[in-house]
Amino acid sequence: MRVSNDSNHAIQIDKEKCIGCSHCMRGCPTEAIRVWNGKAIIDDEKCVDCGDCFRVCPVKAIYVSLDSIPDFSNINRNVALIPSVFYGQFPARYSKKDIDSAIIELGFYRVVEVEESVDLLKKKIIDYVSRHPAENVISSYCPAVVRLIQTRFPELIAHLIPMKTPLEITALKLRRELRYVENLQLYYITPCASKTSSISHSNITSEVLINAVIGIDAFYNLVLHLLNVHHGIASALDVEKGISKTAVLWGLSGGEIASLQGRCLSIDGMNHIMEFLEKLDIDENHQFDFLEMKACDQGCAGGILNSENRFFCVGSMKNRAHASLTKDDNNTTNHILNAEDTQINEIQNCSVLALDKDQVKALKIMNKTRRLMCYLPGFDCGACGAPTCKSLAEDVAKGNAILSHCVFMQRQMEKHHRLSPQHAFNIIESIWGKDRLDKDCNKKGAINDYS
């Protein structure tokens, strides 16, 4: 159960599996997770679907909510939107044509590589950056980064480049190109959770571009099984032509800035991005032409739904890009899309720093938070079920927690006879669950743990 009811998030927690270990709470870069009644819960307003919690969960209780894989052999005209990183999952013995042919054999009408619109987008970005020199223009490619800026750094929203992603542009192009095809269904094969939630949100606010989203891990297993059974598929079916070197590498760390001149920077990993944005927000002396930011280490090759090791994937994609015979700027979208089709009209401010819509109430909450911090120890131990003392103070100020959730405050209250030991113990159980402090030799790392 989440703190709020935002259905656009892809990251979910299986309460049956969750053991309330706090790994996810301590690993969340946006402090969106709390532990209550022995289970982790997510604050939807703070969650950016980066997937860092997914990576650290020791019992696989955190998962990505995706569409189930349907029976593709139906009357629908199914189109597979495949990101370049998908091809990087496979052993070198399988060519792109082998992989595409296997996908078609699954029941698809066409296979389209998402990054085929990159060369068109690249031109737009180069033009935009040239007209905004030294203005710290930030890439809008990674949905987790965009969401982070919307919620935690709203003053930087104006720096986000108002351009759609290759996925949105390619899907729009296909919708127009195949507008007369009946029962058209577009399936996107995703490497991460943030793209899933961004698609869910875009389908609510505008025309439906993508009908379903499937994880790379599950789809990869289907395709690999076909390839292994047939030992590679030599198909006579017409599949999409290859894309340019620039397009192949676009989703990797450094892929976007490779085409740009001037002072550009590439940053990957949520903690690195947050550290940089905090400095950028405070220090106005840093001036860049373009900032490429991707939530995952190594870019999309590090997506949580990928099957292959991210470094092997990067190597595979670079080998493919090196062998590409397709020239950059070889795109087929100009006659289908208008200049406005690549642009974002507005990026909303979803700041969680605004503690209340009423500015007077928000100011009171902020002042109360600061006063509470005078009493809290600042150890950031997480024993209260919140990741930091400041986050607990904020929760208390909002009325979502009480000061005695802090175990050190409990000792102080007991010392001054304001809290009984039994009451303190009950508070601990309300956070971490009943009987969690009892002896258990079966827990992870204990004497009976044979895993």
- Condensed to tens digits (0 to 9), the pLDDT of residues 131-152 reads 999 899 999 999 999 999 998 9
Q: Which helix (H) or strand (E) holds 352?
A: none
Helix axes 96-105, 216-230, angle to 10 degrees: 100
Question: At what angle are helices 421-432 and 407-415 packed, to 10 degrees?
Answer: 170
**Residue 190 located in a structural domain:** yes
- Show which of 294, 309, 342 is a domain's final residue: 342
pLDDT of residue 6: 45
CB 56 within 8 A of CB 22: no
Please give the share of the chain, as a percent, with pLDDT higher than 70.
88
- What value does the mean pLDDT take over residues 171-187? 90
Residues making up the chain, counted from first to last: 451
DSSP run (H or E) holding 130: helix 118-131
Q: Which residues of 15-46 are buried (b: 16+ CB within 10 A; e: fewer)?
A: eeebbbbbbbbbbbbbbbbbbbebbbbbbbeb
Task: Judge if 151 and 300 occupy the same domain.
Answer: yes
Same domain, 159 and 303: yes
> DSSP character for 303?
-
- What is the number of alpha carbons within 13 Å of residue 45 lying toward its C-beta? 11
Q: By C-alpha distance, which of 92, 76, 3 is closest to 394?
A: 3
Name the residue range of residue 108's domain.
77-342
User: Could you tell me how far CA 339 lies from the centroid of its own chain?
Assistant: 28
Residue 204's pLDDT band, with cuts at 50, 70 and 90, is: very low
pTM for the predicted model, two decimal places: 0.88
Whether 430 and 319 map to the same domain: the answer is no
How much is the average pLDDT of 238-252?
81
Q: What is the pLDDT of residues 26-62, one digit of tens each?
A: 999 999 999 999 999 999 889 999 999 999 999 999 9
Distances (CA, A) of 200 to 52, 256, 288, 422: 20, 25, 32, 47
C-beta of residue 223 within 8 angstroms of C-beta of residue 102: yes
- Domain contains 18: yes
Q: Which residues pair with 12 in a beta bridge?
A: 63
Q: Which two tokens stand for residue 130?
A: 């040239």
- 35 and 90 in a single domain? The answer is no
pLDDT, residue 63, reads 95
User: Does 70 reside within a domain?
Assistant: no
Q: Are residues 389 and 450 in the same domain?
A: yes
Lowest-pLDDT range of 39-53, 307-321, 339-353: 339-353
Tell whether 414 and 375 lie within a shared domain. Answer: yes
- Please give the C-alpha separations between residue 122 and each of 84, 117, 259, 330, 385, in angstroms, as whole numbers: 16, 9, 7, 12, 45
Instruction: Name the band, by pLDDT with cuts 50, 70 and 90, for residue 361.
Output: confident
Are 104 and 54 in a shared domain? Answer: no
Q: Which DSSP letter does residue 242 get?
A: P
* Signed CA dihedral, 359, 360, 365, 366: sign only: positive
Q: Of residues 307 and 355, which shows the higher confidence score?
A: 307
Pair 11, 193: CB distance under 8 Å: yes
Task: Report the CATH number at residue 30.
Answer: 3.30.70.20
Q: What span, in angstroms and rounded, lies between the C-alpha atoms of 116 and 120?
A: 9
Mean pLDDT of the chain: 87
229, 92: one domain: yes
In a domain, 258, yes or no: yes
Whether residue 59 sits in one domain with residue 2: yes
- Tell me which of 342, 365, 399 is where a domain ends: 342
Looking at residue 201, its pLDDT comes to 61
End-to-end CA distance of the chain: 29
Cα(29)–Cα(274) distance, integer angstroms? 8
How confident is the model at residue 24, as a pLDDT? 96
> For residue 428, what are its two tokens?
């601990």
**Beta-strand pair 62-64/11-13:** antiparallel
Per-residue CA distances from 275 to 156, 202, 278 (Å)? 14, 29, 5
Q: Is residue 72 part of a domain?
A: no
Same domain? 331 vs 358: no
Among 41, 65, 89, the domain-final residue is 65
Given a contact cutoff of 8 angstroms between Cβ atoms, the answer to whether 9 and 44 are in contact is yes
State the CB neighbour count (10 A cutoff) for residue 444: 11
Residue 347 located in a structural domain: no
Q: How many domains does the chain have?
A: 3
**Strands 212-215 and 184-190: what pairing?**
parallel
Residue 5, pLDDT > 50, answer no
277 and 338 in a single domain? The answer is: yes
Indicate if 264 and 331 belong to the same structural domain: yes
